[in-house]
Amino acid sequence: MNRLIILHFPAYSGGKFIANCLSLSKYTQPMTLQGLDHLSNVPDDYEYRLNLILQTLPPSDKMDKWLHYEFGEGDFYRSGRTSVSFYNKLDHFLTVHSSSELEKWLQLHTDVVIITLTNVVKFQKLAHTLKDLNNQRPIGGDIETQEHYESLKGDMWPNWKQFERVGYNTTKLKAFDSEIIEEIQTFYPITHKNHYCFDIDDTIFYNSVFLDAMHELYKNLGYDDFNERLVDTYWAKYISLHIGETNGKTF
**Can you tell me the distance from the alpha carbon of 140 to that of 249, in angstroms, rounded to the nearest whole number?**
25
Q: What percent of the chain has pLDDT over 70?
A: 95
Instruction: Answer whether residue 168 is part of any domain.
Output: no
Residue 153 domain flag? no
Q: Specify the DSSP element, H or E, that contains 92.
A: strand 92-96
For the chain, give the mean pLDDT.
91
Looking at the structure of the chain, the number of domains it has is: 1
Separation of alpha carbons 84 and 87, rounded Å: 9
**Is 152 among the domain residues?**
no
Cβ-contact 203, 7 below 8 angstroms: no
Residue 202, sorted as left (phi over 0), alpha (psi -120 to 50) or beta, turns out to be alpha
In a domain, 169, yes or no: no
b/e map 131-153, b = 16+ CB within 10 Å: bbeeeeeebeebebbeeebeeeb
Q: Is residue 248 part of a domain?
A: no
The residue range of the domain holding 129 is 4-139+192-243
Instruction: Flag whether 176 is in a domain.
Output: no
CA 217/CA 20 separation, integer angstroms: 13
What pLDDT does 214 receive? 98
In a domain, 14, yes or no: yes
> pLDDT at position 245, please?
56
Say whether pLDDT at 247 is over 80: no
Residue 248 pLDDT grade (very low, low, confident, very high; cuts 50, 70, 90): very low
**Residue 71 vs residue 244, higher pLDDT:** 71
Please say whether the beta carbons of 235 and 241 come within 8 A: no
Residue 78 pLDDT:
64
The model's pTM: 0.93
Is a pLDDT exceeding 80 seen at residue 249?
no
* pLDDT at residue 139, as a whole number: 84
Residue 97 maps to which CATH number?
Answer: 3.40.50
Residue 63 is given by DSSP the state G
Element (H, E) at 80: none
CA distance 88 to 73: 16
| Pairing mode, strands 4-8 and 92-96 | parallel
pLDDT in tens, 98-142: 888 898 889 888 899 999 999 999 999 999 999 998 887 888 777
Q: What is the pLDDT of residues 133-185, one digit of tens each?
A: 888 788 877 778 899 999 999 999 999 999 999 999 999 998 899 999 999 99
- With respect to residue 174, please indicate whether it lies within any of the assigned structural domains: no
